[in-house]
Amino acid sequence: MDFLNTHLLSLILFFPALSAIVMLFLPKDETRLLRWFAFAASLIPFALSLALWFSFNPTAVGYQFEEKYIWYAAIGSSLHLGVDGLSLTMVLLTTLLTPLAILASFSVTDRVKPYMMLFLFLETGMLGVFMAVDLLIFFVFWEVGLVPMYFLINQWGSANKDYASLKFMIYTMGGSLGLLLGIQLLGALFGTFDLAAITTNWTSAQGFLLGFPISTVKTVIFWAFVIAFAIKVPIWPFHTWLPDAHTEAPTAGSMLLAGVLLKLGAYGFLRLVLPLYPDQAKEFAWALALLATAAIIFGAFAAYGQTDFKRLVAYSSVNHMGFVVLGIAAAALAAGTADARIAMNGAILQMFNHGLSAAGMFFLVGVIYERTHTRNLNEFGGLFPLVPIYGGILIFTSMASLGLPGLNGFVSEFLVVRGSYPILTPYTAISMLGLLFTGAYILKGIRQVLHGPMNEHWTHGEHQLTEINTREIIVMAPLMALILVIGIWPAWILNVINNAVVHLF
């Protein structure tokens, strides 16, 4: 077991990719085999990350399970992995959602092999970002995750996939250009990419750089980083790629996109922006808060205005991620205070929670889309009597998203608001208004799908709507369980998060 203990992170990280390579040699027509293989291959990292969770020492400072391998000695970058409370949560979320997404994709029949392989590669890409303790490795996995997603949207998406996938790609790559340049500059400056070393050197850097005062340079790079992550989160006004990508992506793709990929952006704020640029973050926290508020309000309004069910859910992501950013802004402004920590805890938990509920919501949209081949809200209506179980699950998940007390969304949003209020009073106040609209659009969605006059189209004949099947329930079950558990007893996860927050900020 020694090997397992010392290589736990790299095992979790590379197992999906290696399985994908093994899949390459499986026959492409054996769809059942391929599906189960992929599912099994994604369960193992989940099991391992559970082991990781339980052997994690929440009270210890700094990174745990650190591993370091020579990778690119020439420029001072090494494959340096490690997790703290923050990344551990995200790793767990990723390894949980991937098997569910794969399970959700069992209905895919077109080119199963590359589809499943892309998912596994995607998982490795996402996990790598969360585990990286080296700036370059961070960037490597950041970009690596992009490619499978691009092809998932481009190949298995719906009608407007070409436009959406290219937009996704160009936005994200365009955003990461600044990040790349920033990382290059830091690397060129210090000759290493190790996060700890760079943080120490960079925050204490003085004098002139490239002929400018260092503070100017820092501000510029700060914004380069912020824009890269803001696009990924996405923060208004950089969010326009998201509804397109979500709408066109296959169901499981949307699940991971909303569940994990968006978190990469927020994680970037927490892992890189705040530690590397505390001063700039403080200076520009108001701007972040402003954008976050805008995201919350406009996201909610936009969601309300949608007639496409999936777009509605997509805009709700903008809305929900706004709270994450709000928490981050508050924490940046008042770093070190108790309020800041509360906001930060809320933001991180919100990331986790949104991962659960957004994945669930997208999956549920997918379930109904597979049966009706439409996502137009006006074409549904009164479906509850037809599909009561589905209806129940949908309502449950929506409530979590809405922030109903007792479910997880409430806990995190409350923490964010509670923490931010003393720090960013006006912004938080306006954002709380946004919560109201959140309720509005979610209820609108539920009403148009489940309630109201029944659309006779779905009651009989070939269009008869069928109930959610066992596999799909199995996909939803863990999500719902976690939603409920965190809603009722959040301490088990907050403990881990809080410890990281205390040490980090």
Partner 1 sequence: MTFPVLSVIVFTPLTAALIILMIPAQRKTEARGVALAAATFALLLSLWVYIQYLTQHLTGYQFVEKYDWLPMLGISLHFGVDGISAPLVLLTGVVMFTGVLISWGDNNPHVMAGIQDRPREFFAFLFILASGVFGVFASLDLFMLFFFYEIAVFPMYLLIVIWGWIQTREYAAMKLTLYLFIGSVVALVGALAMYWVAGRNTGVYTFDMLQLEKAGFSASFQNLWFLPVFFGFAVLGGIWPFHNWSPDGHVAAPTAVSMFHAGVLMKLGAFAALRVGIMLLPEGAKHWSWVIMLCAGVAVVYGAFIAFVQTDLKYMIGFSSVSHMGLVMLGLSTLDKNGLTGAGVQMFSHGVMTALFFAVTGMIYDRSHTRQIPELGGMNKVMPFAAIGFIIGGLVSMGMPGFSGFIAEFPIFLGVWQSQWLVAVIASISIIITAAYIMMNIRKVFFGKMPEKLEGHMTDVTVLDKVAITTLCVLMIGIGIFPSVMVPMVQTGVQHILTLLGGA
Structure-block tokens of residue 390: 């589905």
How many angstroms separate the CA atoms of 13 and 81, rounded? 10
Using the minimum distance from each CB to partner 1, give the nearer residue, 148 or 403.
148
Which residue from 36, 107, 174, 414 is in contact with partner 1, where contact means CB under 8 A?
Answer: 174
Quick check: 140 binds partner 1 (CB under 8 A)? yes
CA-CA-CA-CA dihedral for 488, 493, 495, 498, to nearest 10: -110
Structure-block tokens of residue 35: 């599906």
How many angstroms separate the CA atoms of 77 and 51, rounded? 28
Quick check: 219 binds partner 1 (CB under 8 A)? no
Quick check: 221 binds partner 1 (CB under 8 A)? no
Quick check: 197 binds partner 1 (CB under 8 A)? no
How many angstroms separate the CA atoms of 381 and 453, rounded? 6
Phi, psi of 134 (to 5 degrees): -130, 130
Using the minimum distance from each CB to partner 1, give the nearer residue, 110 or 456.
110
Quick check: 4 binds partner 1 (CB under 8 A)? no
How many angstroms separate the CA atoms of 87 and 76, rounded? 23
Which residue from 65, 119, 139, 269 is in contact with partner 1, where contact means CB under 8 A?
Answer: 139
Q: Of the listed pieces 177-185, 272-280, 299-307, 344-352, which binds partner 1 according to CB under 8 A?
A: 177-185
Which residue from 34, 93, 100, 136 is in contact with partner 1, where contact means CB under 8 A?
Answer: 136
Structure-block tokens of residue 490: 């959040």
Using the minimum distance from each CB to partner 1, give the nearer residue, 188 or 436.
188
The 10 Å CB-count burial string (b at 16+, else e) for 55-70 is ebebeeeebbbebeee
Going by C-alpha positions, the residue among 165, 158, 164, 128 that lies closest to residue 145 is 128
Site for partner 1 in 151-170 (CB under 8 A): 154-155, 162, 165-166, 169-170
Using the minimum distance from each CB to partner 1, give the nearer residue, 170 or 488.
170
Quick check: 214 binds partner 1 (CB under 8 A)? no
Q: Of the listed pieces 172-180, 246-254, 263-271, 440-448, which binds partner 1 according to CB under 8 A?
A: 172-180
Site for partner 1 in 64-103 (CB under 8 A): 70-75
CB within 8 Å of 117: residues ≥ 6 apart: 20, 23, 24, 38
How many angstroms separate the CA atoms of 488 and 312, rounded? 27
Quick check: 143 binds partner 1 (CB under 8 A)? yes
Smallest distance, partner 1 to C-beta of residue 72, A:
5
Which own/partner contact pairs does 204-207 have at CB distance under 8 Å and 24+ positions apart? none
Using the minimum distance from each CB to partner 1, give the nearer residue, 240 or 459.
240
Quick check: 26 binds partner 1 (CB under 8 A)? no
Using the minimum distance from each CB to partner 1, give the nearer residue, 234 or 327.
234
User: Is-contact 27 37, C-beta < 8 A?
Assistant: no
Which residue from 1, 159, 188, 436 is in contact with partner 1, where contact means CB under 8 A?
Answer: 188
Using the minimum distance from each CB to partner 1, give the nearer residue, 113 or 375.
113
Phi/psi class of residue 104: alpha, beta or left (left: φ > 0; alpha: ψ in -120 to 50)?
Answer: alpha
Using the minimum distance from each CB to partner 1, give the nearer residue, 170 or 429.
170
Quick check: 181 binds partner 1 (CB under 8 A)? yes
Which residue from 26, 144, 435, 465 is in contact with partner 1, where contact means CB under 8 A?
Answer: 144
Structure-block tokens of residue 147: 């490619």
Smallest distance, partner 1 to C-beta of residue 222, A:
16
Which residue from 10, 107, 184, 199 is in contact with partner 1, where contact means CB under 8 A?
Answer: 184
* Tokens 């209506």, residue located: 381
Quick check: 44 binds partner 1 (CB under 8 A)? no
How many angstroms separate the CA atoms of 444 and 312, rounded? 10
Quick check: 245 binds partner 1 (CB under 8 A)? no
Using the minimum distance from each CB to partner 1, give the nearer residue, 67 or 413.
67
CB within 8 Å of 215: residues ≥ 6 apart: 279
Smallest distance, partner 1 to C-beta of residue 138, A:
10
Total residue length of the chain:
505
Structure-block tokens of residue 492: 């088990």
Going by C-alpha positions, the residue among 273, 259, 268, 327 that lies closest to residue 295 is 327
Chain contacts with partner 1 (rule: CB under 8 A): 70-75, 136, 139-144, 146-147, 150, 154-155, 162, 165-166, 169-170, 173-174, 177, 180-181, 184-185, 187-188, 210
